[in-house]
Every structure is written in C-alpha cells, then in structure tokens.
Copies of this chain bind each other. A is one copy, B any other.
Amino acid sequence: MKIGYYQFRPLFGKTEKNLEKVITALESVGNNTDLIVLPELAFTGYYFKDRKELMDLAEDPADSRTLKALKVLCKSNDLYIVTGFAERSGDKVFNSAILIGPDGIEHIYRKLHLFNEEKNTFDPGDIPLSIQKVKGVRIGMMVCFDWAFPEVTRSLALQGAQIICHPSNLVLTFCQQAMLTRCLENRVFAITTNRFGADKRPQGELRFTGKSQIVAPGGLLVHRANSQKNEIFITEIDPSEAQNKSITPLNDILSDRRPDCYDALFKDK
C-alpha cells in the first residue's frame, strides 16, 4: 500500500488558489498512490478573525466546489484523500477531516478537541470516532490537537485502525514526538500532515511548524519533512504490521489493558 502526505503553505482565504496547488501536486503523483493526507483546513487557511468570516469561507460538503474537484481527482487516479476542511452544516461550522475516494465522499470526522481560539469560532465535534476502509485497510481520522488526548488514538486503535490519518495545523512543537508514543502504545501507523508558513491576520499572526511525518507501529519514524518547505512524500508500507499488537512474546498491547481498573476514565461520561 502506498501512502503519503502533501505538506504545503495554504494562503488565508484563497480557497481556489490553494485547491489549484493541491490538484497540481497530487496530479504529479499519478495513479501510483493509494492514500494521501493533506493538512487541517487546507483550503481556507486557519486563523479566522471571527465566526462570520469562518462561516463565509466554510463549505457544505453537499455543495462544495473544492470537494467536487477532489472527487474528480480521486476517481481518475484511483486515490483516497484525507483532508482537513471548514465544514458548514446549517448554522453550525466544524473543523473537519473528510475521506474522499474514487466513489466520492466516504466519511466526515469533526474535530473533538478544539485548540485555543478555535473555541471562539468552531463548534465542537459531535460524531463518534470510527473506522473507514481504504482498499481493504482500516483507517481512523483525527485532527491536529486531538493528538494531545491519548484517548483518541486509543479509541481508533481499539476499533481496529491500522493507519491514523492526522491533518494538522500545528503551532506547538510537541506533537511530532508524542505521535511516536501514540504509535508505540497502539502499534499503528500514523500520517501527520502539517502545514507551514504563517497566517497574518488583523487579530495577530500564527506560524505553523511543518515537519509532517509518517510513523510505523512501535513508534518508528519512517520519514519527517523539513519545517518550512513544500513536500510531497509517498512511501510503501505493509498495513498488516499494525495487526500485530505484540510488544513482547507474552504481551499484547491492547488485550493486556485492564479496563476493570480504569474507573477514573469513565467518571465524567
């Protein structure tokens, strides 16, 4: 299975220009790849000055020129894409990741753990964490700051995820290292696609840290991008490696859990 990421610098508010950039990059790969992950909010940019601006730039998947163009690309290249996008749904708006394949939209995940000022503009996710199939392989989606909550990757792994698709717009520098731990403790692959560059807006400036990466089960770093550089990276993996949960001859990292002793985790439910 060939998986990869496209790290780039979206321009704030320039949806069509960003889409063009993505299409050009992905077309250069040809029909030689199975799954590519793009950054969070890949087409709108990240740092909205208020909810109205976000609402104006967000798209309803039922009526989105951006997603339509990606569908065409996926169909002609027999490709699956996971990308972040601003999802309008009635009077709500979510920081979402979408899985698009040759047959169209497969699933939308709405970011559960909003980061900092996103709380002022986005609605929190309201759809359970779940698993999708990409050419027979089970993938799970999460967005950026979800990395900080071990419950997210764990929930996806317990549901059988082999590859975690993780569109990101990281401004902190902790995530890349922590994702090695996530892949160690769950024995899954993870594709973390980060953007680079900055959003300079009236309310301030945010700089993004790049260093997109692919990690293998056991926490092995397969590849990490530079901080401030375009990169399309594709690699071949054997997704069945993620089905082996043994960390020693007598330890299975999932079935050795002791949920009978994790009462504190359930208390707020």
1/0 contact trace for A148-159 toward B, CB 8 Å?
A: 111100111011
B113 pairs with A258, CB closer than 8 A: yes
A7 to B116, CA, bound (A): 40
Query: What is the CA–CA distance of A249 and B249 in the complex, to the nearest angstrom?
Result: 45
Give the size range of A's interface with the partner: 35 or more
**Residues of B with C-beta under 8 A to A177:** 177, 180-181
Flag if B154 contacts A264 (CB, 8 Å): yes
Contact of A262 among B125, B145, B155, B261 (CB under 8 A): B155
**Cα(A17)–Cα(B268), bound, Å:** 48
For A263, the closest partner residue in chain B by CB is B128
Considering the complex, give the chain B residue whose CB is closest to the CB of A148: B185
B116 touches A263 (CB 8 A): no
Report the minimal beta-carbon distance from A114 to chain B, rounded to whole angstroms. Answer: 8
Residues of A within 8 A of B (CB): 112-113, 115-117, 119-120, 124-125, 128-129, 145, 148-151, 154-156, 158-159, 174, 177-178, 180-181, 184-185, 219, 247-251, 253, 256-269
Closest 4 CB pairs of A and B: A150-B150, A181-B181, A116-B248, A155-B264
